[in-house]
Amino acid sequence: MGQSISEVLPYAIGVAISPIPLIAVILMLFTPRAKANGTAFLLGWVLGLGVLATVVYVVANAANASTDNTASDSTSTVRVVLGVVLIVVALRRWRNRPGPGVTPEMPKWMAGVDRFTPAKAAGLGVLLGAVNPKNLVLTLGAAANLAQMPGLSSADAVAGIVAFVVIASSTTAACVAYRVFGGDRSRARLDDAKLWLTNHNDAVMMVLFLVFGVVLVAQGTGRLSA
């Protein structure tokens, strides 16, 4: 069980520190429906990540990625390709980063967050949790790691997926819990966090893309050469 958790841990941390989803949930926590929308967003986020990780693992495991050389090589090749894509995106982020004193532009949909219903908040949680490109790649990497582990039992695979989802959701859950139980001062603290994430979004994302791009390429090529 410990090994399955260690295999997904780096990817889960990468998902957990995604700036845009954290900004989105903080914005929801400042709306009149703060508790309902924040909770709905968190549930959608958990559901999206859990379903995606499970589907990828089941498909890769059914192809015998841990024992069949062809399936394993295919899985590793996909990881190398995804890693290269992340590295390219990191370089593009660096080249296109805002200049000094320029406020980074946030997605336009954020302007309408205050009018979201819980159903829309849950839908956004699913999209940002499982469909946005960075989380999609990292979830694929985590599930592929589990599928390629030789002799992994079903219980250990479930433990790995659960650990991935819990850790990946920890920062979002912490924001919701802090707003619900933190009283009036939580607004100021969360607003400070939102401002920091907004100003440093490009830098954080560039580092994440670069680090996990290198990790995916290294792991993929390592398994191809084994």
What confidence tens digit (pLDDT) does each residue in 3-48 have?
788 888 888 998 998 888 888 888 888 888 888 899 999 999 999 9
Average pLDDT over residues 171-178: 92
Dihedral of CA atoms 36, 37, 40, 46 in degrees, nearest 10, equals: -130
**Which of 28-37, 102-111, 120-129, 133-142 shows the lowest mean pLDDT across its residues?**
102-111
Cα–Cα distance, 20 to 137 (Å, whole number): 16
Structural domain harbouring 118: 2-225
Q: Where residue 65 falls among pLDDT bands split at 50, 70, 90?
A: low
Query: What band does 67 get if pLDDT is binned at 50, 70 and 90?
Result: low
Q: Which among 212, 209, 205 has a CA at the least distance from the CA of 97?
A: 205
Instruction: Using the predicted structure, report yes or no on whether residue 66 has a pLDDT greater than 60.
Output: no
pLDDT category at 168 given cuts 50, 70, 90 is very high
| % of the chain residues with pLDDT over 90 | 21
The total domain count for the chain is 1
Average pLDDT, the chain: 84
Distance CA 76, CA 140 (A): 11
**Number of Cα atoms under 13 Å in the Cβ half of residue 71:** 16
Task: Look up residue 32 and give its two tokens.
Answer: 């009149």
Residue type present at position 81:
V
pTM of the complete model:
0.82
Rounded CA separation 116/36 (Å): 10
Environment class of 52 (CB within 10 Å of its CB; exposed 0-12, middle 13-18, buried 19+): buried
Would you state the structure tokens that stand for residue 134, as one six-digit string? 């960075």
> What tokens appear for 84 in the block?
């290269």
Q: Which of 58-67, 78-87, 152-161, 198-207 has the lowest average pLDDT? A: 58-67
Residue 135: exposed, middle, or buried by beta-carbon count in 10 A (0-12, 13-18, 19+)? Answer: buried
What does the pLDDT read at residue 111? 75
